Every structure is written in C-alpha cells, then in structure tokens.
C-alpha cells in the first residue's frame, strides 16, 4: 500500500507541475501574449510541448522514449523542461523591452518581478506539498525544491539582469570587425555574469569533496558503477541539497527503480538551478536576436544556425557522443550544460498547435481530472501489446487538441 501511495504522489506531483508550467507562461510572461505575430511564430514549437506532455501523461503508448531517462540520456519527456526555461528567457526580453519602451520605471519593474516571483514560488511550494490527508501542506512528505520554485527563481534572476542591463540598440549598418558578434559584445556584462555562474557550477560539481564519495562523481549511485558508491546519488548536487535542505527533497527520483537507490535526490535541486539560469540566458539571447534583426530574416536565421552549430558541437565534445562515457554526460536530473546545449542545438519554426497553447491551463486541468474517464480512456483488453496503449494515448491527446481548437474558435480562454 505504501508503494502504491508513493507512486500516486509522484504522478500527482508530475501532473501538477505541468499544469503550473502553463499557468506560469500564460499569466506571468505577458510578453508571449503581446508580441508581434512574426515573433510569436518562433514559439509555436513550444506549443508542441503542450501536446507532447498530454501524450506523455496518458502513458505515451507505453514506449520508453516518452518516459524520463532513469539517469544519463535524453528522451522526448526530458525536452519539456528545457523548452520552457528557454522560452522564459526569451519572453523576459520581449516583455521587459515592451514595458521599458512604455516608460515603466526600474522601481516598478523590480516590484512587479519580485511580486510575481514570490507568488510563483509560494504556489509551487503549496501545490507540490498538498495532499488530501494533510491539507495544504503535507508535512509527512514535505519537499522544498520544485519545478515552480526553480522556474520562479530563474525568472527572478533573468528579470533582474534585463532590468539593470536594459536593451542596447544593435547598429545594423556600421562596419566594424566585431559586427558579426555584436549581439554578444554589446551585452558583455551579462556574459561575464553567466560565465562566472557556470564556472561556479563546474567548481562545485567537480571539486567539492563529498564524504565517502569520489570527487566529481556524477553517477546515480545504488547498484550503478558496480555498486561501489551506493550512497552517492548525484554526487555534489545531492550532497548540497541534503546539507541545505535536509530530508525535505524528492524521494522518488527516476533512477530509483533501475539503480535501486536508497538516497533521495531532487532533480530541481540547488546546484542544477545555476544551469537553469544559464539555459534561460540562452533564451534571452534568442529574444534579442528576434527583436533587433526582425526585419532581416537572413540575419536572424544565420545567427540561429551559428548558435545551433556551436551548441551542438559543445554538446558532442562534452558528452563524447556517448551516453555514459563523456566528460559531462547528458543528464536532465543533474541539469548539465551539455543537456541544454543538445536541446538548444537545433531551432525550428512551426505554426501548428496554436489553439492548444492558447488554452493550456484548461487542457491540463481537464485532462488531469477527466483522463481516467471515457471517452479519453477505457479499460484496455490487450495490455500485453503497445497498439491499444498507443491508440488510446493518441486518441485522448487528439480529443484535447480538438477541444482546445473549438474553444479557440469560440474565443474562450481560461486564465487564472
């Protein structure tokens, strides 16, 4: 019974996180709603993530690629969080640029971003720790870090950077040797800050001594690495979380079943938040390119292509194009840099999934509440094969996309 309750809690937390993902983007990032149609098209690839998350939550047809990787590696489910953090950074640039052009003072911006951050973190803390038994805060399994907490803190740092550094006009016609990288050079203070943050992450991850564990350990612990380090799950990242937060972290990490780990590990822990900020900064860079080169499509596409190549090469070098043998493995749990470099190493433009994204909260609340009822699901007869699981997942996802499309046509949008 306790194992069943644990699985129910994990599923509840996962579904709740995705609902609040969408609440954050639509209600706390107005830049996405108010930006021009041309810029908005760029974000339609992220509307695909909404559909993917619904599909994943309905079981993903029972295929492993729609589940989170146990430790190292990358699946479709692991792409969602980086997508959202990236778009937060882009939206910060779009929203704050718009407010600064309207004459909103720095004090007003700080008050606004602080209020939004506090509200978001409180919502995440209370929502993630709610249980029918204990009420608003479940003291029996209290968890301090969380998805919304990480998003809120990332938003806070990125917004402060945008508030104090502001926007600098990128001249398009001057002939200087550094013109090809002027969108980087003009923002050198921000880049220095990000480089220092990444240096801090590297030093803590690879140089911090962890008791009874090898320095720089990045493994899952448990029976991994021939069982040599059973209590070293996450290395420095896990150690810092337990030192700062005690036992109030995630107790059901994705590595628990495969590696038989006994130690708690939080994928939204303190150390990984550093790379979350770096990831969001990449989104800010994309937003600056979109704003200042929006009338020069070739410049926008060429810069995205260059960034894609650079980040792709970085990910390949760091991971050695392998899952476990790289200098830094691709790992969503540890929030490693090459995980983000791999995710953002490709950029595409899609104009689908518009209607689903405009009613994301409705779709997520609806599919969470009604997901186990007909016609969205039914008692399957062929449980030993994938075809019925896949059909049910695709059927339910398609129904919610259709519902969202009909609501969009009726101009009905649910906001919290």
Alpha helices in 246-359 (DSSP H): 256-259, 270-292, 297-319, 337-343, 354-358
Active site residue 340: no
Neighbours of 319 (CB within 10 A): 24
Q: Are 99 and 109 in contact (CB under 8 A)?
A: yes
**Which is nearest to 278 in space by CA: 233, 336, 328?**
336
Catalytic-role residue among 68, 251, 340, 386: 68
Q: Are 241 and 253 in contact (CB under 8 A)?
A: no
Residue 112: is it exposed, middle or buried by C-beta count within 10 angstroms (0-12/13-18/19+)? Answer: middle
Distance CA 33, CA 359 (A): 12
Residues shown for the chain:
416
**Which is nearest to 291 in space by CA: 183, 160, 177?**
183
> What is the four-CA torsion angle of 71, 72, 74, 80, rounded to 10 degrees?
50
Residues acting as catalytic residues: 68
């Amino acid at each position: 019974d306790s194992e069943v309750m644990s699985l129910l809690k994990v599923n509840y937390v996962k579904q709740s996180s995705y609902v609040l993902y969408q609440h954050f983007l639509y209600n706390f990032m107005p830049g996405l709603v108010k930006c021009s149609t041309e810029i908005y098209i760029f974000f339609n690839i992220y509307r695909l993530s909404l559909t993917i998350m619904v599909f994943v939550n309905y079981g993903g047809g029972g295929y492993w690629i729609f589940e989170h990787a146990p430790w190292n590696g990358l699946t479709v489910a692991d792409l969602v969080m980086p997508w959202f953090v990236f778009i937060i950074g882009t939206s910060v640039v779009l929203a704050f640029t718009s407010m600064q052009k309207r004459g909103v003072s720095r004090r007003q911006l700080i008050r606004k971003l602080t209020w939004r951050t506090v509200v978001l973190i409180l919502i995440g803390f209370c929502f993630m720790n709610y249980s029918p038994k204990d009420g608003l805060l479940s003291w029996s399994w209290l968890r301090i870090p969380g998805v919304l907490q990480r998003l809120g803190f990332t938003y806070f740092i990125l917004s402060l950077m945008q508030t104090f550094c502001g926007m600098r006009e990128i001249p398009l016609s001057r002939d200087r040797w550094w013109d090809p990288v002027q969108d980087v050079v003009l923002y050198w203070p921000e880049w220095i800050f990000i480089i220092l943050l990444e240096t801090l992450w590297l030093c803590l991850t690879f140089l911090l001594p962890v008791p009874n564990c090898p320095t720089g350990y990045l493994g899952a612990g448990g029976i991994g690495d021939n069982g040599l380090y059973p209590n070293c799950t996450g290395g420095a990242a896990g150690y810092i979380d337990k030192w700062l937060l005690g036992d109030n972290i995630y107790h059901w990490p994705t590595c628990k079943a495969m590696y038989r780990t006994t130690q708690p590990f939080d994928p939204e822990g303190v150390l990984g938040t550093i790379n979350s900020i770096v990831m969001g900064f990449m989104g800010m860079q994309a937003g600056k390119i979109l704003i200042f080169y929006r009338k020069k499509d070739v410049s926008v596409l060429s810069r995205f292509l260059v960034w894609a190549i650079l980040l792709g090469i970085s990910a390949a070098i760091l991971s050695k194009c392998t899952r476990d043998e790289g200098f830094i493995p691709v790992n969503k749990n540890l929030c490693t840099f090459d995980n983000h470099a791999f995710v953002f190493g490709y950029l595409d433009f899609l104009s689908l999934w518009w209607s689903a994204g405009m009613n994301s909260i409705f779709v997520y609340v609806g599919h969470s509440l009604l997901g186990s009822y007909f016609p969205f699901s039914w008692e399957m007869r062929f449980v030993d094969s994938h075809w019925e699981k896949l059909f049910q997942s695709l059927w339910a996802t398609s129904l919610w996309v259709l519902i969202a499309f009909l609501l969009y046509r009726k101009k009905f949008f649910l906001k919290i």
